[in-house]
Amino acid sequence: MSSVVQILSPQAEELHARRREMADLRRKLADKELELSTGKAALNIFERRYQSVVGPMYAELDGVKAQILSLASKFYPKAENFREEAKSAREQANEFQQENQEKNPEKIKQEFNPPEILKKLFRRVAKKIHPDLASSTNERERRHDLMSKLNQAYDRLDEEAIRLILIEWEAEEPLSDTFELGEQLVRVMNQISQVRKRMNEISDELEDLSLTEMFQLKQNIESAEREGHDLLQEIADDIEAKIKKAKTQIRDLAYDFIE
C-alpha cells in the first residue's frame, strides 16, 4: 500500500514554521500580560492597604505641623514662609483626609491572590483578543477595548465578566479572508513583529514597576512579614511618635505665646 507524501513549497514551509512560532509567541505574550496585570493589581491593593493604615496618621501629622507653623508665624509675623508652609501643610492634611474618607479599611483586601482557574482563563482570553493580533485599525481598536475590560475584570477577580468578554469576542469574531500564500506569510510576520514589540514593552513596564518607591516598600514589608516582623506597624508607630512630639511642640509654643 503506497502512501501519499505532501511536498510543500518553500514559501508554504516558511508559513508553516512562522505559524508555529506565532502560536508559541501568543502563549508567551498571554503569560506576560498576566504577569503585568497581576503585578499592577497586587501593587494597587498593597497601596490601598498602606494608605488605609498610614493615610489618616499622615493627615493628622500635617494638621499638627500646620498648627506649629501658624503659631510660629505669630512669633515672627514678617516671616512669610511660615504662613505659606502652614497653608501647604493644611492642604496636604485635607488631601490625605479626602483620599481616605471613602475607604473602609475592613473592605480593603490584604493581598491579590487570584485562583489558578482565573489565571488560566485570562491567558485563554488574552491569546484570542490581544490587540497585536489585529489585521486592521478597527479590529485593533475593538481588541484594545476588550483587553482593557479583561484587565479590569481580572483586577476584580470577576470570572463571570471575563467569560462574557470571551463570549462577546466569539460572537463577533472577524471572519478570515482568503489571502494568497505570500499575503498570509506577510501577515504572520507582521504579527510576530508586533507581539515581540509588545513583549519588550511589558518587560520595560515590569522593570519600571519594580523600581517604584511603593513597589520597594511592598517588597520590604512583605519580606519582613515572612520573617514574622510587622514593618507596617513600625512605620505607623514612627508616625505616631512624630505626632506626639509635634503636639508637645505646640503646647510649648502656646505657653510661650501666652507668656
Is the per-residue pLDDT at 5 higher than 60? no
Residue 86, pLDDT score: 53
- pLDDT classification of 117: cutoffs 50, 70, 90: very high
CA distances from 240 to 145, 174, 217 (A): 45, 59, 19
Three-state DSSP at 9 gives coil
Smallest CA-to-CA distance from 9 within 248, 202, 226, 180 is with 180
pTM, whole model, 2 decimals? 0.75
pLDDT of residue 149: 95
Give the residue, 10 or 94, on which the prediction is more confident: 10
183 Cβ contact partners less than 8 Å away, ≥ 6 residues apart? none
Mean pLDDT of 226-235: 90
Percent of the chain with pLDDT over 90: 44
Average pLDDT value over all residues in the chain: 82
**CA neighbor of 105 nearest in space, from 55, 70, 155:** 55
Contacts of 15 (CB under 8 A, 6+ apart): 181, 184, 185, 188
Segment 89-110, tens digit of pLDDT: 566 656 655 655 555 545 556 6
Angle 80-101/10-75 helices, nearest 10 degrees? 130
Q: Which residue has the higher pLDDT, 70 or 159?
A: 159
CA distance 66 to 148: 42
Report the range of poorest mean pLDDT among 1-10, 22-31, 35-44: 1-10
Please tell me the distance from the alpha carbon of residue 39 to that of residue 34, in angstroms, as a whole number: 8
Instruction: With cut-offs at 50, 70 and 90, classify the pLDDT of residue 53.
Output: confident
Tell me the C-alpha distance between 201 and 33, whole Å: 10
Of the ranges 89-93, 123-127, 246-250, the best mean pLDDT one: 123-127
How far is Cα of residue 223 from the mean position of the Cα atoms in its chain? 20
CA angle 249, 251, 254 (to 5 degrees): 105
